[in-house]
Amino acid sequence: MSLLLQTPRARVGRLVRRVTGAHSPLMGATVMVTGASSGIGEATSYAVARRGAHVLLVARRADELERVRAAIVADGGRATAYTVDLTDGDAIDALVAEVLERHSAVDYLVNNAGRSIRRSLDLSYDRFHDFERMMAVNFFGPVRLTMGLLPAMRAQRFGHVVNVVTWGNQVKAPKFAAYIAAKSALDVFGRIMGREAFFDNVTCTNMRVALVRTPMIGPTDAYAGRRAESPEHCAERLVRALEDRPVTVNGLIGSTAEVLNLVAPRLSDFLAAELSRRMPDSAAARGEPRVRDSA
């Protein structure tokens, strides 16, 4: 989050911590991070643990989750692993029940787990399941988890949720209809949740990230060689969002595209359509084997 996009309160709070040496607000807090076994979630878990939080690691892959937990503990941090498939509603409910029994409440929740699909509508007419699975992973799962933890947050009169969404919510990028629609739904849910829980001191940040170099972008040929943020850098920005609790974290390109969509929608459509034409569907999206360079 650039300095210009920070709220005055956030800038002052960070300055005070730097000058006085005050602890991070995360010190001693309970922070749940989903998708914690790799990418942004893994990097965020390390960063949160370094600030003194007890990290609740949530992901599907037990072995990878244990690797992350062990690394945090070896570094002197506190972490507990929960192996959960966030597309399984019953598993989410069981996770919530266990976590609330053991910890009473979660202070901070990072809804990071997600999945992306880059496929044009032209290749999706007989693939409605793409839209269903995007909603399951990117919307229904995090919403069910948030709703399960929200009453305890409101009862203790403190809580903060960070939804890792996408700058695509602002750009409306072609070939990402299923993915962006699901992330946009989560974005809107978080905004309304923050308003309804405002007087209970429970807030939400929608963090609209751009391209991050994680395994999720691997199958998409169009990303090859393109500049991308590292998971570690993204995690540091995410931790600042936990500490400062802004309403949104936007980037310059996404915000510029959002303004262009409002003031010149047809020009924006033309530019997006032309860019889409120049960046065709990947081999993975077409269901073809990827052609790799020989060693």
How does pLDDT run across 174-189, given as a tens digit for each residue?
Answer: 999 999 999 999 999 9
Return d(Cα 169, Cα 275) in angstroms, integer.
Answer: 17
pLDDT of residue 5 exceeding 50, the answer is no
The yes-or-no answer on residue 179 being catalytic is yes
Return d(Cα 83, Cα 58) in angstroms, integer.
Answer: 6
Averaged over 199-213, what is the pLDDT? 93
Averaged over 120-133, what is the pLDDT? 95
137-190 residue pLDDT tens: 999 999 999 999 999 999 999 999 999 999 999 999 999 999 999 999 999 999
Domain boundaries, the chain: 21-286
Return d(Cα 44, Cα 55) in angstroms, integer.
Answer: 10
Residue of 188, 190, 166 lying closest to 179 (CA atoms): 166
DSSP line for the chain: --GGGS-HHHHHHHHHHHHH-PPPTTTT-EEEEESTTSHHHHHHHHHHHHTT-EEEEEES-HHHHHHHHHHHHHTT-EEEEEE--TT-HHHHHHHHHHHHHHHS--SEEEE---------GGG-TT-HHHHHHHHIIIIIHHHHHHHHHHHHHHHHT-EEEEEEEETHHHH--TT-HHHHHHHHHHHHHHHHHHHHTGGGTEEEEEEEE--B-SGGGTT-GGGTT---B-HHHHHHHHHHHHHH--SEE--HHHHHHHHHHHH-HHHHHHHHHHHHHHSPPPHHHHT----PPP-
- Per-residue pLDDT at 164: 97
Max mean pLDDT range (20-29, 91-100, 250-259): 91-100
pLDDT of residue 291 exceeding 50, the answer is no
Residue of 290, 284, 280 lying closest to 175 (CA atoms): 280
Percent of the chain whose pLDDT exceeds 90? 80
pLDDT of residue 89 exceeding 80, the answer is yes
pLDDT of residue 98 exceeding 70, the answer is yes
* Joined tokens for residue 148: 């399960």
Rounded-to-10 torsion of CA 145, 114, 243, 188: -70
**Cβ atoms within 10 A of the Cβ of 97, count?**
11
Return d(Cα 229, Cα 213) in angstroms, integer.
Answer: 6
pLDDT of residue 285 exceeding 50, the answer is yes
Total number of residues shown for the chain:
295
Label residue 19 by pLDDT band (50, 70, 90). Answer: very low
Label residue 224 by pLDDT band (50, 70, 90). Answer: low
- Per-residue pLDDT at 152: 98
Label residue 290 by pLDDT band (50, 70, 90). Answer: low
- Per-residue pLDDT at 295: 28
- CATH number attached to the domain at 21-286: 3.40.50.720
Percent of the chain whose pLDDT exceeds 70? 86
For residue 10, CA distances in Å to 4, 14, 128 come to: 11, 6, 42
202-209/248-249 β-pairing: parallel
Averaged over 71-99, what is the pLDDT? 98
Q: Which of 46, 82, 108, 179 is catalytic?
A: 179
